[in-house]
Structure 1
């Protein structure tokens, strides 16, 4: 089903129409086969770059689309509905570009941002470590200044696009001053001393490589530190606020795809002389699924509009991430139920949707962490 959207401009409507065309003609036809074969669609990201979709929220001066975040997220939702690996990949790439775009110097942005968002390069975001997931402040990868370079040693984990990315936005420790001892770096993936481990064997998003990342005396020019020493955790958390909205939009896209599949199947499947969609028990289940999708979409749009208006949106981003990913898990599970035995087979994408939904409740901050952040925002100011 095509979702009717309220968009702020004719240009935004044209972008969405282009996105739907790409999703229909280029993404949806190959998603199942590439996921089954664990094939990463690097060519698709080049296509998105050539189409102007890799840099939608970034300035035109650097080759971006300079679109409101609410427009970018709705484009992202459409892509995720067609192929979740590509939706999540676009969200991660956008987040990897964020520190340079927001906190980089004019010289840094002019030199690197055009190629980062123009489709030439693909990014990864290197924050998590084997023993520093939700507790990002405890990371131990270390960067030591040596002349005009930093020597970096350590290991990162759960890196989307690991081994496939052209650059990584890296958070590393430059001092032992706790959360204030972390700094942000832009690193080239092919630099000596940087290597990716074997891909994780995941239950879903099998087309998207997720790997450990190793730094063994890797050298990064000091001029590619983003922000001042010690600003890294602040930059990382700021990027995550926007990244959570990307995951929320992907979750809504996945849930919408599952709902559309369930409605289509229930409209055609006949039992006791009529389509099963006419049975009240199933009708109510589908109604609850639709309500969950619409509600989740509203949460990410509300947060995005606050972001576009320059208002605080961290708490709303956590609400959107929590609500949308929980909705995606429930809606995809219910879609399998609507299809019955057929939903449990790989003849239909319902089982893939269900497997893909689970990780959305985990990355960009688990949903338990989102509840902590939401509750913290409710406390009276001291």
Structure 2
């Protein structure tokens, strides 16, 4: 990492990229990984008498034998003061966190000082942003369950910061408050947008685990390039279910990636995450052929590329079938067809299943 950058460990609302950028919309940001902080637990406290921007207490970490999960972000050092200003009521400290592969990162994190109001309930809006960030980043599902278990304070009045974050996500029109049968206030999110660029271009492949997906059209992701790669250092591509490398995107200012835009029910997000278990979820902005822009979920392969680049002919065929089904530009389809494959001839069960569903 460059001396001009630093790592920030976001464990609450800053797990959501759109919240992190509210005060720094043009800030350099890079999702590094999901990581865990040992010896701390997450709780909700406040040290000031007023509710604040989130209409309730804020998250903090406290020493504890447990673990706190969060996101490691790479930020410009010039943005450090703005980040500290956002977290003005908290103390900044350095901690060491560890990702799922055992890699360690020294990160700036924020911890509340003494507390006069420990263990209070957060607003449902603040809690929702934390959970959205956890899902967007691929935090382990059992930890998300822990986050969901915190009771909220039922606040349902105006919430400027929450509305601002939702607007940047493109979800404002889909958000409603309702009263559940037990009388507690909860947030109901209906749908989200997903940008597919690999095998999920094909409806029949995506619908295996995500039957609610509705095709909305094609879109272009600028500043990224398409490739086939492999990021698992502990196994070879031939051991995977597709018997070869998988589609991936990497940042490249001079390139673009075409894909299909899908609308899914929020309840299907966990199944999409499970299907894309080898990828990190990221949020991107894409545009359609009319110039309209959309904020979408997509996935980028975990780990450092091993140098492997060959997909199986079966996997490549599904990607091309999906590109043609979605009616991506002909020149882009030719671009995908130009990639060599690994000539695999062993059976690929998922391929046989999909092809059978097409006949």
Q: What is the TM-score with the length of structure 1 in the denominator?
A: 0.30
More strand by share: 2
More helix by share: 1
Q: What is the TM-score with the length of structure 2 in the denominator?
A: 0.31
